[in-house]
Amino acid sequence: MRQVLLKPAEKTDMQTIWRMQIEAFSDLLEKYRDYEMSPGAETLEKVMARYEQPWTTYYFIVAENENVGVIRVVDRKDGSRKRISPIWIMPAYRNKGYAQAAIKGVEQLYGSGHWRLDTILQEAGNLHLYEKMGYHQTGRIEKINERMDIVCYEKD
């Protein structure tokens, strides 16, 4: 598996993270036209508001001396499931094992059990990644529009 460094983001990094997020999710936004929920349609203010949450930490996924992606971890430290929401790898670095390495990295930091995440049911690559990492579908599926459904995954 590829090696990555998870570098905690600072408030001054939020504009960079927002720009990366818009670019990374633009293809999915165009494909599914989900302007309400897609990270590709979010404002800088929404990303900044998440950063300000005491239970949120954004990490740059660093490999090849570059920020190849970002992962946000939500850990309320109250016994509820920890969440990955969102994670992305920039287009030039996809399919190289970086998302897997980042998920492994946050599981080392926060513990490997009691996680949840949501993803697009129609994106087979995402489903394959999460299932390979030990996540299983909960059976909860939310129809977003005629093109797209969101499926919930958990890992115990």
Question: Residue 30 has what pLDDT?
Answer: 95
Question: Residue 2 has what pLDDT?
Answer: 80
b/e sequence 15-29, b meaning 16+ C-beta within 10 Å = eebbebbbebbeebb
pLDDT digits (tens, 9 = 90+) for 66-110: 999 999 999 999 999 999 999 999 999 999 999 999 999 999 999
Type and span of the H or E element at 105:
helix 98-110
CATH class name, domain 5-111: alpha beta
Model confidence band, residue 11 (pLDDT cutoffs 50, 70, 90): very high
CA distances in angstroms from 136 to 28, 108, 115, 119, 154, listed in the order given: 23, 19, 10, 12, 6
Token pair in block for residue 149 = 């459904």
